[in-house]
Amino acid sequence: MDKENKQVKEKQKKSRLFKGVITSDKMDKTVTVLVNRYKQHPKYKKRYKISKKYKAHDEKNKFKTGDKVVIQETRPISKDKKWEVKDLIN
């Protein structure tokens, strides 16, 4: 019974999702996505912007530079790729 519960809990875990803009599509089956997020300073309560680039897997090479996309965390595909492109944002 415990093994079944663990398997159900693993399936229920939600992976992280980020929205971003593709900055590079020059690699094969890989795109670079720029994600902008806002954080709040713990003491001064001022919001500031954090920018980070992620390498995401694009199996069919269908996304191009400038597209707004959603990326989802997945199993490691290579040393740097731990994300995959899920969908295009209109």
Domains of the chain: 15-88 (2.40.50.140)
Q: What is the CA radius of gyration of the chain?
A: 16
pLDDT for 9: 57
pLDDT for 39: 97
pLDDT per residue as tens digits for the range 26-64: 999 999 999 999 999 999 999 999 999 999 999 999 999
Tell me the whole-structure pTM to 2 decimals: 0.80
Pairing of strands 17-24, 68-73: antiparallel
- pLDDT over 80 (residue 6): no
pLDDT for 10: 60
